[in-house]
Amino acid sequence: MSLLARIHANGADVIRDEWRFSLRRGRLSPDAVAWLRARWPDACREVWPLYDDFEERAAIIEFDGGMTRQEAESRAYQEVTGC
């Protein structure tokens, strides 16, 4: 069973807004939320298959371009999605 299927089975959801993600907890117990927190990047990858490309691009832009992480993420999102 995929991570998202397990999340949805508990009335929860992972919400993506551009490159930002949040959790709607539903019936997830505190232990389940802690378990998910340890696997958060995996959940993000299931929600948005371009997640790894975005993360890599943002890191390169931040390091090589001397930008803040927030600026780098905004630029990386534009580059990865073409928006």
- d(Cα 63, Cα 45) in Å, to the nearest integer? 23
- d(Cα 61, Cα 25) in Å, to the nearest integer? 33
pLDDT digits (tens, 9 = 90+) for 30-48: 999 999 999 999 999 999 9
Give the helix ranges, DSSP H, for the chain. Answer: 3-9, 30-38, 40-47, 51-65, 69-81
pLDDT digits (tens, 9 = 90+) for 49-75: 999 999 999 999 999 999 999 999 999
pTM: 0.86
- Which residues in 39-50 are b (16+ Cβ under 10 Å) and which e? eeeebbbebbee
